[in-house]
């Protein structure tokens, strides 16, 4: 059966009741992003599994057997392939594992006894030719690497007429390479398959009704409707309805969360029941799901110091193997022993196991609500010995509530003041703004019209209403930048601060207009998390806060902090981090606000909380997607455990390979046994790397001590 497509010919090569095998010309295109293609196919109704083979230009699709789903799959392949052809990082197009060399070597071993000597020699040279060519090419382009030693080993056996040994060694090398490629590819697959396919269409309000449009045409401010079983395509706020939303794709938490008017929702989450009307705040590349995709893409491209060090040590150990072989041959003049030594490679387990372990950690992190920007973030968090916490939104819940609305102008009563501030703050995304807007909605206050809002990062908002200038923000902002003095209201301010309130200051036309008091609560898990961090090897816990000294010190004592920096203005946070680093500390900074961005950058590793401002999340090395502080322990456990796993593999590979070299040097191991033992050990390291760090209850309670680097 042949289906004519606009850009190619599609051939149904084979069919079973719930399985289709299709051949499509563009599937063999070297630019094909196999992962994106498979993810898109998996989003089709009824599709249960997909496997694409670019080498054969074919795809196998398993589905539920229903005819209308079968027809949808066939029609899907008629679309233009342009969306899946990309010139991206070559790492995304890793060569497919090849078993042909393994089967060729096996067939050669079976044929060998039946052939005359000249044919045996010809068959052997033909089978080992790819390894010899690879060794020659590597030597000319990259210098002395393990491929050169493999080439020498099989060449020595073939030159001595030991054809069985040469072919058997070639087969073991090919099998080892296949398993290594397969495992490394699986590590990439794990990460890529976190990139959930997003819906392509959305129901959006237009002229009082609902129309379906492509998601690419959505704009911030659009109101969309999402029903049961549907995925939310944008980040936004609920403006109507209520529903149970499964956020597992973003936070790793499988329990559905109730969402109603005023709540935020994230792209990639799915409605399990109910219906929501949502006002879009972020669309397209700005959504949470798109950012996760960028994090994963970055993670696949970056190398950490540990990874670079592993490759450096692995390359140096090639010279160790070569030198040992030279000494063995000088002492014994035995080419078999020399070949056996050359087949022992310290490099494989180090160069392959390390990136696989790191990718496994990236995958585990994303599954449990932790986004590492790259492998360097894992290194830095594992080695951090000083954790600096910005209080609001990190140690506290960040879910502020308005407790006081104090008008300082007789012409403005409290409800009108709150309505004005809420009308302006609804354009911001800070927890203070959310609390004020929520309170105004609960009181059903009317919106007050105003001009465009100017946002001064880390300070406040200004706008015009009825021709008069309104400024909202911190006291520092209004007094220093707007020249509005609140000294006459010092008594009111002191009373609110004594009660532990966070204050929002409001000015109208260069004079004080009002104060809004908000209260935050300490996270119930904060003390336990800090204790577990200290048990896990963290030496210093530091608190940064804008609170007064006495209040800050009381909180620090309650939490068992080592140091506290009180009355700390936004611009001071980065300076504190720099001071700690100058003292020799390896600093992890945890924050969530716009004013935390400089400190996040200044730290060895910056972590942003999920409710954090856009700038904080953009500058952080690690973004926590789950609001609970246990996610911080997960991140620490994963990073420290991964570095310990890499060190363990280094010790194992060094010990086992040294024993195999010793056995080869003393003539106890033939080349075949050397290759078998070495490749077996390498495979064990790779499998253990892809299994990664186990995140059980115990590991979350007691993160590993990262020790030294």
What are the residue numbers of the active site? 390
Q: Tokens standing for 110?
A: 């079976």
114 exposed, middle or buried (CB, 10 Å; 0-12, 13-18, 19+)? exposed
CB 128 within 8 A of CB 163: no
- DSSP at 527: H
Long-range contacts of 146-153 (CB under 8 A, 24+ apart): 146/318, 146/345, 146/347, 146/348, 148/318, 149/318, 149/321, 149/322, 149/325, 149/342, 149/343, 149/345, 150/342, 150/343, 150/345, 152/339, 152/342, 153/339, 153/340, 153/342, 153/343, 153/671, 153/675
As a 3-state breakdown, the chain gives helix, strand, coil percent values, each rounded to 5, of 50, 20, 30
Q: CA separation (Å) from 542 to 359, 591, 615?
A: 31, 12, 23
Euclidean distance between CA atoms 706 and 616, whole angstroms: 26
Q: CA separation (Å) from 231 to 256, 269, 272?
A: 13, 6, 9
Q: Tokens standing for 460?
A: 């406040």
User: Can you give the length of the chain in residues?
Assistant: 709
Q: How far apart are the first and last CA of the chain?
A: 60
What are the φ and ψ backbone dihedral angles of 312, each rounded to 5 degrees? -65, -45
- What's the count of helices (H) and strands (E) in the chain, helices before strands? 24, 25
CB 448 within 8 A of CB 465: yes
Cite the DSSP H helix spans in 521-629.
Answer: 526-535, 549-559, 570-582, 597-602, 614-619
The residue whose two tokens read 């115990």 is: 698
How many other C-beta atoms can be found within 10 angstroms of the C-beta atom of residue 209?
Answer: 8
Nearest to 34 by CA among 74, 93, 95: 93
Nearest to 23 by CA among 99, 80, 77: 77
Cα 468 vs. chain centroid, distance in angstroms?
A: 47
- DSSP at 87: -
536 Cβ partners below 8 Å, 6+ apart?
A: 633, 636, 637, 640, 702, 703, 704, 705
Q: How many CA atoms lie within 13 A of 684 on its CB side?
A: 13
Q: What is the 3-state secondary structure (H, E, C) of 100-132?
A: HHHHHHHHHHHHHHHCCHHHHHHHHHHHHHHHH
Write b or e for each residue in 615-628: b if 16 or more Cβ atoms lie within 10 A of its Cβ, otherwise e: bbbebbbbbbbbbb
Give the H or E element holding residue 27: none
Q: Tokens standing for 90?
A: 């070559």
């Amino acid at each position: 059966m042949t289906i004519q497509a606009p850009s190619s010919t599609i051939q149904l090569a084979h069919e079973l009741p719930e399985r289709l095998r299709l051949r499509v010309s563009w599937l063999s295109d070297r630019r094909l992003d196999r992962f994106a293609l498979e993810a898109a196919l998996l989003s089709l109704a009824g599709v249960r599994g997909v496997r694409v083979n670019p080498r054969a230009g074919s795809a196998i699709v398993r589905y539920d057997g229903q005819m209308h789903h079968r027809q949808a799959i066939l029609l899907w392949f008629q679309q233009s392939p342009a969306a899946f052809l990309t010139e991206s990082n070559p790492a995304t197009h890793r060569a497919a594992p090849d078993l042909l060399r393994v089967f060729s070597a096996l067939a050669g071993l079976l044929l060998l006894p039946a052939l005359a000597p000249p044919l045996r020699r010809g068959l052997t040279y033909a089978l080992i030719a790819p390894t010899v060519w690879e060794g020659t090419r590597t030597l000319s382009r990259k210098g002395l690497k393990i491929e050169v030693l493999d080439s020498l080993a099989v060449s020595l056996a073939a030159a001595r007429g030991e054809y069985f040994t040469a072919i058997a060694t070639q087969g073991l090398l090919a099998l080892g390479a296949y398993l290594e490629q397969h495992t490394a590819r699986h590590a990439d697959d794990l990460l890529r398959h976190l990139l959930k396919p997003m819906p392509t269409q959305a129901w959006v309000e237009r002229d009082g009704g609902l129309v379906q449009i492509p998601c690419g045409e959505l704009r911030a401010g659009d109101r969309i409707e999402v029903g049961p079983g549907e995925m939310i395509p944008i980040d936004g706020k609920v403006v109507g309805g209520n529903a149970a939303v499964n956020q597992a794709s973003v936070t790793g938490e499988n329990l559905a969360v109730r969402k109603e008017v005023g709540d935020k929702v994230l792209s990639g989450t799915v409605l399990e029941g109910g219906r929501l009307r949502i006002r879009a705040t972020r669309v397209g590349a700005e959504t949470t799901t798109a950012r996760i995709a960028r994090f994963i893409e970055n993670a696949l491209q970056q190398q950490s110091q540990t990874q670079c060090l592993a490759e450096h040590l692995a390359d140096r150990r090639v010279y160790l193997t070569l030198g040992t072989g030279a000494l063995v041959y000088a002492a014994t003049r035995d080419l078999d022993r020399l070949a056996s030594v050359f087949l022992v490679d310290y490099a494989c387990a180090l160069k392959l196991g390390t990136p696989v372990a790191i990718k496994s950690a990236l995958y585990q992190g994303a599954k449990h609500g932790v986004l590492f920007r790259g492998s360097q973030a894992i290194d830095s968090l594992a080695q951090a010995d000083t954790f600096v916490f910005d209080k609001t939104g990190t140690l506290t819940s960040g879910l502020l509530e308005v407790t006081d609305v104090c008008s300082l102008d007789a012409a403005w009563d409290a409800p009108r003041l709150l309505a004005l501030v809420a009308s302006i703050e609804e354009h911001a995304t800070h927890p203070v703004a959310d609390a004020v807007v929520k309170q105004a909605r609960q009181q059903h206050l009317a919106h007050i019209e105003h001009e465009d809002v100017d946002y001064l990062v880390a300070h406040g908002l200004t706008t015009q209403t009825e021709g008069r200038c309104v400024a909202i923000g911190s006291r520092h902002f209004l007094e220093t930048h707007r020249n509005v003095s609140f000294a006459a209201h010092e008594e009111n301010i002191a009373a609110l601060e004594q009660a532990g309130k966070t204050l929002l200051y409001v000015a109208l036309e260069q004079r004080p207009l009002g104060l809004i008091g908000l209260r935050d609560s300490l996270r119930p898990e904060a003390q336990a998390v800090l204790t577990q961090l200290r048990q896990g090897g963290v030496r210093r816990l530091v608190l940064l806060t804008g609170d007064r000294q006495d209040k800050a010190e009381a909180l620090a004592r309650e939490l068992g902090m080592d140091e506290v920096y009180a009355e700390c203005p936004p611009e001071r946070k980065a300076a504190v981090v720099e001071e700690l680093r100058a003292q020799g500390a390896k600093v992890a900074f945890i924050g969530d606000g716009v004013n935390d961005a400089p400190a996040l950058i200044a730290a060895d590793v910056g972590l942003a909380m999920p409710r954090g401002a856009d700038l904080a999340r953009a500058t952080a090395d690690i973004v926590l997607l789950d609001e609970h502080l246990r996610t911080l322990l997960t991140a620490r456990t994963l990073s420290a455990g991964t570095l310990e796993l890499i060190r363990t593999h280094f010790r194992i590979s060094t010990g086992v390979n040294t024993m195999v070299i010793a056995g080869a040097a003393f003539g106890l191991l033939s080349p075949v046994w050397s290759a078998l033992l070495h490749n077996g050990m390498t495979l064990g390291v790779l499998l253990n790397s892809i299994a990664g760090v186990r995140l059980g209850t115990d590991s979350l309670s007691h993160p590993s001590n990262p020790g030294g680097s």
